[in-house]
Amino acid sequence: MQNVIKKVVILGGGTAGWLSAALLKKVIGSNIEVEVVESDTIGTVGVGEATIPPIRLVNRVLGIDEADFLRETKATMKLAIRFENWKTQGEHYYHTFGAPGKSVAFCHFHHFWKRAKSLGYDSDLWSYDLNYLAAVEGKFAQINSKDPIVELPFAYHFDAGLYAAYLRKLSESMGVVRSEGTVIEVQQHNNGDIDALTLNNGQVVRGDLFIDCSGFKGLLIQQKLGVGLDDWSHLLPCDSAVAIPSERHTTTAPFTRSIAHSAGWQWRIPLQHRNGNGHVFCSRYLSDDEATHVLMNNLDTKPLADPRVIKFTTGRRRKQWHKNVIAIGLSSGFLEPLESTSIHLIQSAIVRLIQLFPHAGIHRSAQDEFNQQSELEYVQIRDFLVLHYYLNERSKDAFWRDMRQIELPASLAHKIALFKQTGKLFREQNDLFLESSWLQVMLGQGIEPNDHHPIANAMPKQQLFDMLQSVKRVKDEPLQKLPMHDRYIDNLINRVK
């Protein structure tokens, strides 16, 4: 198709729809019209409240004031995820957004730590990570340091409904048009491209490019264009979740909790006004009622609504961009929220679309590039999630025993073997998760590498111990000055507007 793109229609007003609208309008706005179609009757999925640090880039690009954002979306800060009972019942570890220690001379810090351990200097690797230290003490502040060793990378927890409303207000203030109504018919051109959407109120919405943000059903990408789904249930078999909000705790933790149960895991996301809770589970091992029972029994504050069950299939659309339709959000596929990656996938898809924007018409090469990059991103995140399950040592539950038997994708099997044998880790091309993430989950789930890098042997024993102590001092020093997380938020949101 060689037509100039003048109007983009976004079908769906959830997080995907409004984030796409806001970013598109902000970045290439004056050249295009953007219209969002959403149905109040259908509503949104209503979950999706934990994020990862790249979200801060979105806020920067959109010119969002952090205090205003926190006030409006009831957000809190997130430094890490605490994984409980994942390796074995009763054990826990943190996957933080930071990194332990300080890497030197092409060699990651954990090799030095491991050699010191073999020489009798036993210390916890996480105690060299400021994110971990702040998380366990419930502290937080933004640190603007020139030295990456004392940075405190963070993300947000926020109320999903308030977040979509916030993005809607922002988008409309930039000129995005909103049409309310349910799409009942989709018209196509002779070549299969989408031409227009007809709503139940008779309105017809025409466009040159359509972004399908219609949620799991993928109204355009799947129901109309039928691109198909690569089903990854054999690797990530959880297919259901039950979600419920509950009262907030008096102290707000600056991290998400992920608690393993007999056939899945429970999230707890602390917000300013409530907690978000949910139990992700596999229906082959647990019924909806049983899963709900587990969740209700493990809520540590009073429920604020009835539990709600959500069904899903893990996988990704075979093509995320097909004809003049780009699927963004749940319509593009789904990976369970274990590492809070779905909103990030929305962000990266819209950034990719902006970078490849077909202003002068759609070219096959741009579509192929978009689809290849999207596939790689999905596959890399999938493998990181599989890692958590595969490395478990829980023997009591059939689900967890079966997860240890799954046939791993070759690249993941290689990564695990390399770490086990040598302690070495390498970041794959553009992998969202850096070495420090893989390291924390591999160690946390119980891999003890057999070896460390020989560079760590070059340092005399006492110098090595001194180095560890000095890194620890550098990490501990800013901790003393950090305020409690709640106080930080209170100060920020009560700041004069």
Ligand X SMILES: Cc1cc2nc3c(=O)[nH]c(=O)nc-3n(C[C@H](O)[C@H](O)[C@H](O)COP(=O)(O)OP(=O)(O)OC[C@H]3O[C@@H](n4cnc5c(N)ncnc54)[C@H](O)[C@@H]3O)c2cc1C
Output 201 or 470, the one with its CB closest to ligand X.
201
Say which amino acid occupies 493. I
Cα–Cα distance, 236 to 337 (Å, whole number):
11
With b for 16 or more beta-carbon neighbours within 10 A and e for fewer, the 133-156 pattern comes to: bbbbebbbbebeeeeebbbbbbbb
Say which amino acid occupies 44. T
Output 103 or 179, the one with its CB closest to ligand X.
179
Output 82 or 115, the one with its CB closest to ligand X.
82
Q: Give the H or E element holding residue 68.
A: helix 66-73
Minimal distance, residue 17 CB to ligand X, in Å: 5
Output 20 or 371, the one with its CB closest to ligand X.
20
The one catalytic residue among 25, 74, 78, 323:
78
Minimal distance, residue 353 CB to ligand X, in Å: 15
Query: Do the Cβ atoms of 317 and 228 come closer than 8 Å?
Result: yes
Write down the residue that tokens 């950090």 correspond to. Answer: 482
Q: Mark whether 78 is an active-site residue.
A: yes
Where does residue 215 fall: left (phi above 0), alpha (psi -120 to 50 degrees), or beta otherwise? left
Minimal distance, residue 38 CB to ligand X, in Å: 4
Minimal distance, residue 44 CB to ligand X, in Å: 3
Minimal distance, residue 221 CB to ligand X, in Å: 11
With b for 16 or more beta-carbon neighbours within 10 A and e for fewer, the 419-446 pattern comes to: beeebbbeeeeebbbebbbbbbbbbbbe
Minimal distance, residue 450 CB to ligand X, in Å: 35
For binding to ligand X (CB under 6 A), which residues are involved? 11-17, 37-39, 42-45, 47-51, 160, 182-183, 213-215, 219, 241, 243, 278, 310, 312, 329-331, 337, 340, 342-343, 346
Cα–Cα distance, 378 to 342 (Å, whole number):
10
The SS3 call for residue 176 is: coil
Output 259 or 425, the one with its CB closest to ligand X.
259
Output 252 or 331, the one with its CB closest to ligand X.
331
At 441, give phi and psi (nearest 5°): -75, -40
Query: Do the Cβ atoms of 75 and 133 come closer than 8 Å?
Result: no
Cα–Cα distance, 328 to 343 (Å, whole number):
10
Please provide the size of the chain in residues: 497
At 260, give phi and psi (nearest 5°): -75, 140
Output 208 or 239, the one with its CB closest to ligand X.
239
From the CB of residue 185, how many other CB atoms can be counted at a distance below 10 Å?
10
List, in sequence order, the alpha helices (H) in 274-422.
288-297, 342-355, 364-390, 398-403, 410-422
Query: Do the Cβ atoms of 312 and 218 come closer than 8 Å?
Result: no
Cα–Cα distance, 204 to 477 (Å, whole number):
61
State how far the alpha carbon of 197 is from the alpha carbons of 6, 17, 112, 330, 458, in Å.
Answer: 17, 16, 60, 20, 67
Output 307 or 337, the one with its CB closest to ligand X.
337
Say which amino acid occupies 445. Q
Q: Quick one: which of 30, 33, 25 has its CA closest to 8?
A: 33
Minimal distance, residue 242 CB to ligand X, in Å: 8
Output 158 or 400, the one with its CB closest to ligand X.
158
Which residues are marked as active site? 78
